[in-house]
Structure 1
Amino acid sequence: MHFLNLIILILLSSSIIIAQDEDETIILPDIEIQSSIGDRTRLTPGSTNYVGRDLMDKLRGLTVGEIIEEIPGVISEMDDGDTRKANFGIRGAHSRRSRKISVYEDYNPLNFAPYTDPTTHYIPPDERIGGIEVIKGSGQLTHGPQTMHGIINFLNHRPPKKGAGKIITSFGESNIGPRQQYHIRYGRDFGKLGTWQGMFTRHDNRGPVKGDIIDYNDYFLNGDIELTSNQKLAITLNYNHEDSEYAEGGYGLSQYIADPEMGNKRLFDDTFEMDIVRTSFAHSYYANENLKIDTNIYYNFVYRQRWSQTDNEENGLTVRNDINCTSAGSRVDVSGVTNANCGYKNTPRRYHTAGLETRFYKDINWFGKPNNLKYGIKFEFEKIERKARQTGSDKKQTGTQMAEDGTEFAKMSEDAEVYALALYLEDDIQATDKLIMTPGVRYESYYLIHNDRERKDGCGATGVTDCNNYTSYEKDEYILLPGLGFTYEANNTNQIYGGLHMGMAPPAVGDAGYRQISNLKSQKSFNFELGLINKSFEDKLGLTFETAAFRTVERNRPVKSSLRTAGTGSKLKNIGTTFSDGIEFSANWDQSRYSKNSRNWFATLSYSFMYPKLKTHQKGERDSSVDAGSVIVVDDIYENDIPFVSRHKGLLTIGYGMPNKWDISTTARYRGEYFTDIDNSKGIGQSGRWGQVDDYWIINARGNYTLTNFNNSTLYISLTNIFDTVYIASVSAEGLKVGNGRSIMTGIEYNF
């Protein structure tokens, strides 16, 4: 309560200052609300990383996920061939649907329902991204609610101040089929109406297996308006429509060995449809030279539904048992299997997320020391509807399929509302000329109302008349998260940083389902890090490097007792304490920084090591016969590796070229082995849901050529997975998925 009173007092004090200075007009830099890093990188405590558009263009990643993996400690697991499902993890966070990190686009949340269902099935098209920010230290306390591992923020291109546009066309081929990407944008200054920019992007890409086609159109409009000499407004409007062929169910082991590219054999109608509407209004008010106020109002609407005729069962990817198929229960790779008479399992989801955040930047002098205060308040509302049912073969849902009878939403029908309030305060204290201390604190509170209208098992299909099995519950939680960071600049070329903070992540429906969320506790963590940035050799040798050591002590991490135990499905439970110790290292070398040659070499090295350990005494569960047999209690899991966290990850890029004219380069990527259950089982199970995932190397290459006589337009070619390495990209309760095979893309970026 004292903390709340303090925050309210600070806000009121700021309001008084604003009132006193409202007649003062100041011309200050461009709007910054989209980025917490930018020019403020030096004042962001802890480890931060930034990937700019120039580097993205130079590397020509096949997907955004490949670009993300340039950052030490960040992983991206392939699921759909275009990284639409955004399986990102940071410093030991489970990457499944990025549920354990906060993902933003211009600090508008991309997690569909951040407090209860923070899944991500969408990230912006790579052509639209102007840069990517990652915060891994205590600086993430000014964001949330997931603050244990890190945050990712995608920055869109801002409207140009002079009329300019770009057309990007990319064509290519993978082992599965063609890949096509189109992008056009144009922006200009409209005088008093501000600068505006419109963008259109289309992707039509084959995934890593037969039956996966990612197909979407993206429409985007943003504008920057100078309301007065000290007030600016940024407006964003976005609509994205996806109509993809996508089987969420993955392989069993024998299917992967026999034909890793088979998918659903293109015999079954597995589709994913999604409509997204995203809006935000970001206002910056420069009250005076010492006070700036940013306010962001956002609203996101998502409607997505999956139609599936296949699913992962004990023996692999099969025809669903519950949709009246002629081949129900058969593996999709069995000779003569068909989808004759097949219906569908339909899982519609609807998300509404609205928020209001006001952030104050205040420069003051306390006790003779300069202080840069950053404090704010955020309100967020979420409404979620999740349903599942079996239907007939008519996707148009005519006849009785939409009737409220025993078959309507027989699998699941639930909704939830969340009311959340967050307060935060961070202060950059200039303790000495070289040392900045940054204490901070975040207060999180949310209130959840859940209604479950799930039918009883067997309702309708077996003629059961008493179908109602309604439940309802309410839950609230209040958490205070302190932090302390520091930055020490020994000179202009060396910086030491570090810090500690507490983090949290609310239990997600992906962890246990809404009915079980009441039994799960929020994850909490104690995070420690110490890092060094060195630029001493940049001018003479073209070399810079950064290294950081960290420890994350986590409580109540949700893990599967075993992905292969009968009856557990994808449900999780809180486990005790986990320790994730790690080291990150990155180095960049650019010969052009010191050489007078017209052509020069360049290189990048990145390496991350993790030592992820379960620090709780608990018996594991194992079955030596079949995946879903009777449960056998086995040895203590203490000191086993945390599931889904690999110990090693690295990449090396070597290139040669003429700056601003042409370049060629090749990259070797490595991902170490990891386990997917707390037993640390060595082999992959027959269902493909558990076991040890082997390490792998991927070799990529690319080239760029700038057409100086055509407005510096660019021709490029890129090759991904040159040696066509077959590897397991992810393992989950839906089975195993493979990564993209050999792919080649070529295109042109035409500037006008």
Structure 2
Amino acid sequence: MIALLFKMNLNKMRLIIILLSILTTNLFAQQKSIEGTIVDSKTMLPLKDVEISILNSEYKTKTGSDGKFLFKGLEQGSYDLLILKPSFKQIKKTITLSNKELNFNIILDENYINLPELLIQSFSLINGEKNRKEAIGSAHYVSNTDLNQYNNTNIHQILNKVPGINLQEEDGFGLRPNIGIRGAGIERTSKITIMEDGIMMAPAPYSSPAAYYFPTVGRMNSVEILKGSSQIKSGPLTTGGSINFISTPIPEKFKSSILLIGGTNNYRNYHGYAGGTFKNFGVLIEGFNYSSDGFKNLDDNKSTGFNKKDYNIKFNYKGKNSSKVFHETILSLGVTSENSNETYLGLTNEDFKTTPYKRYDASQNDNMKANQERYSIKNYIEFKNGINISSTLYLNKFHRNWYKLQSVVSDNNKLGISSIFKEGNEKALSIVNGTTNSLDDALIVRANNRKYISRGVQVVLNKTFYKNNISHDISVSSRLHYDEMDRFQWEDKYKIENKIMRLTSKGIEGTNSNRIQYSNTVANYINYKIKGQKYSLTFGLRNENIVGQREDYGKSDIERLGLDLNIRKNSINVIIPGLGFMYDINNSSKAFLGIHKGFSPPGDKPETKPEESINYELGYRKYTKNTQTEIIAYLSDYSNLLGADLAATGGTGTNELFNAGEALVKGIEFSTSINTINLSSKFKLPIYFNYTFTDAKFSDDFESAFDAWGGDIRSGYYLPYISKHLIGIGAEFKSNSFMINLDYSYKSNFRTSPGLEMRNSNDIIESFGVLNTALNYNFNENVKFKLSVSNLLNNVYAVASRPAGLRPGQPRVIKLGIKLDL
């Protein structure tokens, strides 16, 4: 009996084993795997540390240095993959796993701000490289990767790679840039709209747009440059274009970074930030400091350098968003301080040839002290029905006092510093360069003490809908804005003895210039864009309603009691239209054209007209896997050009605007980049080439009110400080662990005052070229080594002769640093 039971149990066990074997075999037969490679859309190189997870499961992994990932032991069916990497756009991908193994590649696009797509519009003009390709008109995007190549703090060096931009160096460090776009005036960047995260950053954009404050470039995450008809949405300056700086975003996860760089002339650059998002709250704390002892030399060995500090903090709150509404609020606070020993005083031609980096002794006390505060609150509401609303409250305060040599008294004649280089003023020059001792009160140093306020509120409503396979985007915005400039200046007087300046008469504050200029503005904008299968059409309409006023208390009423108050007022209400059209020739090629009205506010002087122009552009754009090419022809027809009496341009510094007659600016912008190594290679060798041709001339005869222009202007005279030819060429050699860059920029001759000739004239700055190189090496994912050399060949070249004498470009600078990402 026992033997029988044992035999029966043995048969059952055999049956169970057979059944389990069959089930196990079927189970493993049904298990599959998902594997793939993730690459950067821009470099097409593998991306490391990309997080891939399968939603509603515990499956999660990261890519290695080869960009590969693998999930094993999966059954047949559909899976939702979530792909995340900081500074790249999030991807959700649904895949179906059938009988075969699944292997595929995923391309990630860079995303410089961790916000939903529609919400980004409040920060951005074009939303990165991918959307730049779809821009109706000329647009450029300098990514965080591009900025990190050289760790540039000088905006001039960054923009040298962008066609259509005219630059005039001043101090060699980019502290106070002079930037123009498509022939628009470059003086103190006063003819283009400068923004940070979509907020105007000029000290007083309407009352006094000259950029004595400029955003700290080294703190930024990316830069956008917008030209053509679509840039009228920024305003109020719509002739040349707009530059928008995107600041460091709040990370989705905790992240910290430290950058330490040292270099020639005791150059120092420290940049650090830390932050992250914790449930519904996010925070970012950031500090930036850069300084140098300067590359110019005074006889007393006093520093000619600077020290600039910039601190920023951000908070954000994401509401408990329902399936129908997304809500987020971001608060940003920042302060910037600068102490720079900068001057307007240059050199004679003879001294520049022998000692180009010398500074004359009468500039030994020249110093700029500046402080800026910025506050903003951005609020976003996005509805699932295609409507989103963003609102921004902002307040910027800026105070600067540039204490610098203004004029010289010699033989009882008072001369501005721009006049001492003229024939017959040799004695005044000998006082300034310290070779002759002076009488008391011979050197007049002005305290250019000014305070600025810029504040406002802006609301933008966007609506997107689709009808008959055509997308429709409508954007409506309104901005209420107030800004002012408060001038409260004085002059101290010195003598110079044995090359040392000694104070002989102390000035009384407010006795040189004592006035307030302010503007109240209402700006409205509407844009309508339709996009079909082969075409895009956009129409924009901007309205600027500006009331500017100046209250001049005079030099004797320093308490501002109104005893001798002089008031003047100017009002303007202008409509600024823009139209753009783009046609998709094929999948890789597009053609576009645009026309818009250019405008610059006329200030508070009633007889001054606004700057107005009609601007045209026609372009072609082609993008393939290995090549990107764009060519644009443009024309700006000015019915009235505006000039400004700025000390920076050789004027008296009144900041008065004046009518400068008609002008015609035309040109061509060409840019191309080619990847010369096959994309499947572990290495990449892209090269780029940019060329800009600009023909900028006055088109009528008039008598200029601006002495620095020489008075008598004739049709056909070239506009000053605009080169006919600009060239940029460069190459990168990169792999996963290192990158080597080589960049060359060339600038042809340009005039320093209006005239007919571009050669053989005393009013010419000769052409020059600058070669830069950089090496970036990744020890590992957290530690990066950085080496850069600016002006590798150590060329000596002049960048300007205004406001007073020749000024040199920066000599060779070597920088060495390390970056830690934690």
TM-score, normalization: structure 2? 0.76
Deviation at 1:223, TM superposition (A): 2.7
In structure 2, the residue matched to 1:315 is 420
In structure 2, the residue matched to 1:471 is 566
Which whole-Å deviations, capped at 9, do the CAs of 1:379-428 have from their partners, x for residues lacking one?
101122012211378xxxx9x968xxxx4422211102210011111111
Against the structure 1 CA distance between its residues 116 and 280, is the aligned structure 2 distance closer, same or farther, given a 3 Å change threshold? Answer: same
Against the structure 1 CA distance between its residues 60 and 29, is the aligned structure 2 distance closer, same or farther, given a 3 Å change threshold? Answer: closer
Partner of residue 529 from structure 2, selected from 409, 413, 428: 428
Counterpart secondary structure, 1:638? coil
In structure 2, the residue matched to 1:558 is 642
Which whole-Å deviations, capped at 9, do the CAs of 1:176-196 have from their partners, x for residues lacking one?
x2211111111122333x221
Extract unaligned runs of 5+ from structure 1.
1-26, 322-326, 461-466, 509-513
Q: Quick one: which amino acid aligns to residue 517 of structure 2?
A: A
In structure 2, the residue matched to 1:678 is 754
Deviation at 1:334, TM superposition (A): 3.5
Against the structure 1 CA distance between its residues 439 and 622, is the aligned structure 2 distance closer, same or farther, given a 3 Å change threshold? Answer: closer
Deviation at 1:335, TM superposition (A): 2.6
In structure 2, the residue matched to 1:11 is none
Whether 1:646 aligns to 2:723 is yes
In structure 2, the residue matched to 1:547 is 631
Whether 1:35 aligns to 2:35 is no
Distance (Å, rounded) in 1 between the aligned partners of 2:673 and 2:361 = 44
Q: Could you tell me whether the CA contact under 8 Å between 1:372 and 1:429 is conserved in 2?
A: yes
Q: Quick one: which amino acid aligns to residue 552 of structure 1?
A: S
Counterpart secondary structure, 2:158? helix
In structure 2, the residue matched to 1:663 is 739
Partner of residue 588 from structure 1, selected from 641, 662, 673: 673
Deviation at 1:267, TM superposition (A): 6.6
Against the structure 1 CA distance between its residues 566 and 606, is the aligned structure 2 distance closer, same or farther, given a 3 Å change threshold? Answer: closer
Q: Quick one: which amino acid aligns to residue 359 of structure 1?
A: V
In structure 2, the residue matched to 1:20 is none
Which whole-Å deviations, capped at 9, do the CAs of 1:512-557 have from their partners, x for residues lacking one?
xx6xx33321101111111111124x2xxx2211111111111211
Which whole-Å deviations, capped at 9, do the CAs of 1:186-239 have from their partners, x for residues lacking one?
1122333x2211111111124442353121111111233212421111221100
Distance (Å, rounded) in 1 between the aligned partners of 2:273 and 2:222 = 17
* Correspondences of 1:624-635 after superposition (within 5 Å): none
Partner of residue 71 from structure 1, selected from 145, 162, 171: 162
Q: Could you tell me whether the CA contact under 8 Å between 2:344 and 2:803 is conserved in 1?
A: no
Q: Could you tell me whether the CA contact under 8 Å between 2:421 and 2:429 is conserved in 1?
A: no
Deviation at 1:471, TM superposition (A): 1.8
Q: Could you tell me whether the CA contact under 8 Å between 2:420 and 2:429 is conserved in 1?
A: no
Q: Quick one: which amino acid aligns to residue 420 of structure 2?
A: N
Partner of residue 337 from structure 2, selected from 233, 241, 248: 241
Partner of residue 695 from structure 1, selected from 767, 776, 793: 767
Q: Could you tell me whether the CA contact under 8 Å between 1:451 and 1:471 is conserved in 2?
A: yes
In structure 2, the residue matched to 1:486 is 581
Partner of residue 807 from structure 2, selected from 733, 737, 745: 737
In structure 1, the residue matched to 2:681 is 597
Tell me how many residue pairs correspond in the alignment: 674
Which whole-Å deviations, capped at 9, do the CAs of 1:419-471 have from their partners, x for residues lacking one?
001111111112x3111110111001111121112338xx99xxxxxx97642
In structure 1, the residue matched to 2:658 is 573
Deviation at 1:683, TM superposition (A): 8.3
Against the structure 1 CA distance between its residues 565 and 734, is the aligned structure 2 distance closer, same or farther, given a 3 Å change threshold? Answer: closer
Which whole-Å deviations, capped at 9, do the CAs of 1:342-370 have from their partners, x for residues lacking one?
77421111011101111111113579843
Of residues 690-699 and 46-55 in structure 1, the stretch that sits farther from structure 2 once superposed is 690-699
In structure 2, the residue matched to 1:275 is 371
Distance (Å, rounded) in 2 between the aligned partners of 1:186 and 1:568 = 42
* Higher relative contact order (CA closer than 8 Å, sequence separation 6+): 1
Partner of residue 787 from structure 2, selected from 709, 712, 717: 717
Counterpart secondary structure, 1:274? strand
Which whole-Å deviations, capped at 9, do the CAs of 1:263-311 have from their partners, x for residues lacking one?
2459721110011000111111113331011111110000110112465
Q: Quick one: which amino acid aligns to residue 596 of structure 2?
A: H
Distance (Å, rounded) in 1 between the aligned partners of 2:351 and 2:483 = 40
CA RMSD of aligned residues (A): 3.5
Whether 1:45 aligns to 2:136 is yes
Q: Could you tell me whether the CA contact under 8 Å between 1:500 and 1:529 is conserved in 2?
A: yes
In structure 2, the residue matched to 1:23 is none
Counterpart secondary structure, 2:206? coil
Q: Could you tell me whether the CA contact under 8 Å between 1:250 and 1:316 is conserved in 2?
A: no
Whether 1:197 aligns to 2:302 is no
Against the structure 1 CA distance between its residues 142 and 569, is the aligned structure 2 distance closer, same or farther, given a 3 Å change threshold? Answer: closer
Against the structure 1 CA distance between its residues 567 and 108, is the aligned structure 2 distance closer, same or farther, given a 3 Å change threshold? Answer: closer
Counterpart secondary structure, 2:448? strand
Distance (Å, rounded) in 1 between the aligned partners of 2:650 and 2:758 = 16
Against the structure 1 CA distance between its residues 713 and 337, is the aligned structure 2 distance closer, same or farther, given a 3 Å change threshold? Answer: farther
Against the structure 1 CA distance between its residues 44 and 664, is the aligned structure 2 distance closer, same or farther, given a 3 Å change threshold? Answer: closer
Counterpart secondary structure, 1:160? coil
* Correspondences of 1:217-236 after superposition (within 5 Å): 217-229=309-321, 230-236=326-332
Deviation at 1:94, TM superposition (A): 1.6
Counterpart secondary structure, 2:145? helix
Whether 1:54 aligns to 2:54 is no
Counterpart secondary structure, 1:83? coil
Against the structure 1 CA distance between its residues 382 and 618, is the aligned structure 2 distance closer, same or farther, given a 3 Å change threshold? Answer: closer
Deviation at 1:580, TM superposition (A): 0.9
Instruction: State the structure with more CA Rg.
Output: 2
In structure 2, the residue matched to 1:501 is 596
Whether 1:531 aligns to 2:616 is no
Whether 1:138 aligns to 2:229 is yes
Distance (Å, rounded) in 2 between the aligned partners of 1:93 and 1:253 = 28
Deviation at 1:57, TM superposition (A): 1.7
Distance (Å, rounded) in 1 between the aligned partners of 2:667 and 2:525 = 28
Q: Quick one: which amino acid aligns to residue 654 of structure 1?
A: A
Deviation at 1:734, TM superposition (A): 4.2
Distance (Å, rounded) in 2 between the aligned partners of 1:596 and 1:632 = 62
Distance (Å, rounded) in 1 between the aligned partners of 2:651 and 2:327 = 60
Q: Quick one: which amino acid aligns to residue 749 of structure 2?
A: E
Counterpart secondary structure, 1:57? helix
Distance (Å, rounded) in 2 between the aligned partners of 1:198 and 1:387 = 35
Whether 1:707 aligns to 2:779 is yes
TM-score, normalization: structure 1? 0.82
Counterpart secondary structure, 2:573? strand
Against the structure 1 CA distance between its residues 164 and 340, is the aligned structure 2 distance closer, same or farther, given a 3 Å change threshold? Answer: farther
In structure 2, the residue matched to 1:437 is 537
Q: Could you tell me whether the CA contact under 8 Å between 1:361 and 1:375 is conserved in 2?
A: yes
Whether 1:411 aligns to 2:411 is no
Distance (Å, rounded) in 1 between the aligned partners of 2:213 and 2:402 = 14
Distance (Å, rounded) in 1 between the aligned partners of 2:349 and 2:642 = 26
Q: Could you tell me whether the CA contact under 8 Å between 2:694 and 2:724 is conserved in 1?
A: yes
Against the structure 1 CA distance between its residues 351 and 339, is the aligned structure 2 distance closer, same or farther, given a 3 Å change threshold? Answer: farther
